[in-house]
Amino acid sequence: MENDAIGAGVRNGGLFSTTEIRILICYILNAIKEPVPAMMLSNILHFEGIANGFEVSDAISNLEKNGQIAPVDDESTYYEITPLGSAVADELDSSLSLTVRKRAYIATLKMLAKIKNAKGTRFKISNENGHSYITCSAVDGKVTLIEVKMLIPDEKSGTFIREKFLENPSEIFSDIIEKLSK
């Protein structure tokens, strides 16, 4: 395929064709089978070196215009595949390399897991008596199920801890509960 996409930030093996980027987006939405935030999809494909973020945003816009993907509702920035987009994915996904499909799929799953994990957690970075703390909480609605407060060297460390925590908060809390209940 012709290289007609902007290649900034795209690694070897990434996508340089706008057609391939559109096919990949349809493939991801078809495989995931749940709505995905457009901006996060654009960012994840860019940071993984699979496609240029601007090209992904443009592809999402074109796919929406063509009726292959649609926003979940009028207010939403989350998109889902339409039957037309599913047909494109089923017909053309084999035109993409297995490596690109796998990398994009795994990166998208990780992104969605972080989004879901963030809904059941709260974080607070605070300064008390000249010290910085991060408080990580598992919540169910307005009820706090478990809360952990840690001394941290600085706010930058708190942001790093938050990102690591969001990868699997249930595992972290399960480990704490297990240790405390032995």
What's the rounded Cα separation, in Å, for the pair 29 and 45? Answer: 13
Task: Give me the residue spans of the domains in the chain.
Answer: 18-115, 120-180
β-strand 78-81 against 69-71: which pairing, if any? antiparallel
Beta strand extents in the chain (DSSP E only): 36-37, 69-71, 78-81, 121-128, 131-140, 143-152
Q: How far is CA 21 from the centre of its chain?
A: 17
Contact (Cβ atoms closer than 8 angstroms) between residue 130 and residue 154: no
Q: What are phi and psi of 157, to 5 degrees?
A: -65, -40
Is 143 strand, coil or helix?
A: strand
Query: Closest Cα partner for 70 from 105, 32, 110, 29?
Result: 29
Whole-model pTM? Answer: 0.68
Is 5 strand, coil or helix?
A: coil
- Spell out the CATH class of 18-115: mainly alpha
pLDDT tens, position by position, 29-61: 999 888 888 888 888 888 888 888 888 899 999
Check residue 97 and give its pLDDT: 85
How confident is the prediction along the chain (182 residues), in pLDDT tens digits per residue? Answer: 445 455 566 666 677 788 889 999 999 999 988 888 888 888 888 888 888 888 889 999 999 999 999 999 877 788 999 999 999 898 887 888 888 888 888 888 888 877 877 778 888 999 999 999 999 888 877 888 888 899 999 988 988 998 888 888 878 888 888 888 77
